[in-house]
Amino acid sequence: MPTISAGALKRMLHLPANVVIGTPRIERDRTGRETVVVPVRPYARDTGRCAECGGHGRPYDRLPTRRWRHLDIGCARLFLEYAPRRVACAGHGVTVAMVPWARRKSAYTYDFEQQVAWLSVHAPRSAVSALTRVDWKSVGPICRRVADDLRAEQGAGLFDHLRSIGVDETSYRKGHKYMTVVVDHDRGRVVWMHPGHGEKVFDLFFQQLTPAQRASIQVITGDGARWIDECAFRWCPQAERILDGFHIVSWATDALDKVRTAAWREARKAGTTRKGAKDPIKGARWALLKNEGDLTAGQKAQLECVANTNETLWEAYKLKERLRMILKQTADEAAPMLRQWAVDAFLSGIPGFVPLGEKIARRHFDILTTIRSGLSNARLEAINNKIKTTIKIGYGYRNLDNLISLVMLKCGGLDLQLPGRQ
Ligand SMILES: [Zn+2]
């Protein structure tokens, strides 16, 4: 029977060149599942490297044998096994020596972590856990280690040649905890994220940029909050500050959602719908908030139902859609339409839309500037939705940095490949 040489096995397992492998063995765990254990060790010249700086340290002692999970072989789990050394480094004291197959303080190999990170970006969390047999809570720290490394390799360029950026605050947990997100409009990706919001947090972003990087920024978009303007003015006085179209539309969708909630409560109080029964107004939420062009057949039917049963809600919906369409016109076409919209909203008497009419009138010229800027609202909306969905996926993460890493992996334009495919 032909046997596989150690060298061939090493290549099949995609292990680094400076690793020596021993004879694999098969073990059974308590549940009777088979696992493959491959003894490994680094080349002699690489056994005593400090984990902090990679320099040679003085041998200190040897720790008990431990295992690192590697890519599965067939259906079985595969572990690398090694008793790591500790070394005394002149600069860093006693540390566990570096191993060529895994990151510091990780129980998984580089390849395994890369595969898990790739999967978390492309598959739902249930699929990630089922396929990798790793609990979702452990996936967070893996994503963080991979994202940190990728950012260290590729991340410096994220801040280069920024031309137009957008800043937004996104809630990441119920109870209104906020995170500040900075997006590169030209490349449609997230460049920076930080817990908290307000001027001090936005300052942190600019502090990371070099003067040249700050000088390249020409446009800063946001929801029109004063702290954004003030901060932008302090760090990038040359940049034009623009309200983004996405937020203008969201003023109307927020107002619309309040009208819908009120209508639904009213209907329940009047006893026209029983608790628990399928209520057309409550069910129409997504149909109402979605862009008209994106509706499914079912949602179109729901809207028709709203049109026939609730005049106020239908009126509010039409106002929202009209505002969205106005933003797609040229500035010259939009100007009179916008004025008319503000008047109609104000006169509609619909709660929420009356003050919105005033707001639109007040921000008339700002909105025209938004339209002139030519920034695509659809693109803004797309990246914003992507961030929000990713945040929902990451809800199970206890650690906020892990959540940020997942968003950066998914929306940050980092080049994340499957192991061995680069
Ligand atoms: Zn060191």
pLDDT digits (tens, 9 = 90+) for 313-343: 999 999 999 999 999 899 999 999 999 999 9
For residue 101, report the distance from its CA to the centre of ligand 1, in Å: 19
CA of 260 to the centre of ligand 1 (A): 62
Identify the weakest region by mean pLDDT among 184-188, 384-388, 391-395.
391-395
Mean pLDDT of 199-225: 90
Ligand 1 centroid–CA 94 distance in Å is 9
Please indicate, yes or no, if residue 145 is contained in any of the structural domains.
no
Specify the pLDDT at position 132. Answer: 95
Q: Ligand 1 centre from 93 Cα, in Å?
A: 7
Is residue 198 domain-resident? no
Tell me the percentage of the chain whose pLDDT exceeds 70: 94
3-state secondary structure of 264: helix
CA atoms of 115 and 96, how far apart (whole Å): 25
Query: How many separate domains does the chain show?
Result: 2
Domain presence at residue 295: yes
Give the pLDDT score at 276: 53
Q: How far apart are CA 4 and CA 192, in angstroms?
A: 48
For ligand 1, the distance from its centroid to the CA atom of residue 98, given in whole angstroms, is 10
Residue 128 lies in a domain: no
Residue 278 predicted with pLDDT over 80 = no
107, 122, 140 — which closes off a domain? 107
Residue 139 within any structural domain of the chain:
no
pLDDT value at residue 397: 67
pLDDT band at 360 (very low <50, low <70, confident <90, very high): very high
Range of the domain at 60: 1-107
Q: What is the mean pLDDT of residues 8-36?
A: 92
Q: What are phi and psi of 31, to 5 degrees?
A: -85, 0
Q: Does 114 reside within a domain? A: no
Q: Dump the DSSP string for 311-333.
A: HHHHHHHHHHHHHHHHTTS-HHH
For residue 216, pLDDT over 70 is answered with yes
* Structure-model confidence comparison of residues 183 and 278, the more confident one: 183
In a domain, 41, yes or no: yes
**Domain presence at residue 100:** yes
Q: Where is the domain boundary, 80, 107, 134? A: 107
Picking from 373, 397, 415, the residue at the C-terminal end of a domain is 373
Give 362's pLDDT tier (boundaries 50, 70, 90). very high
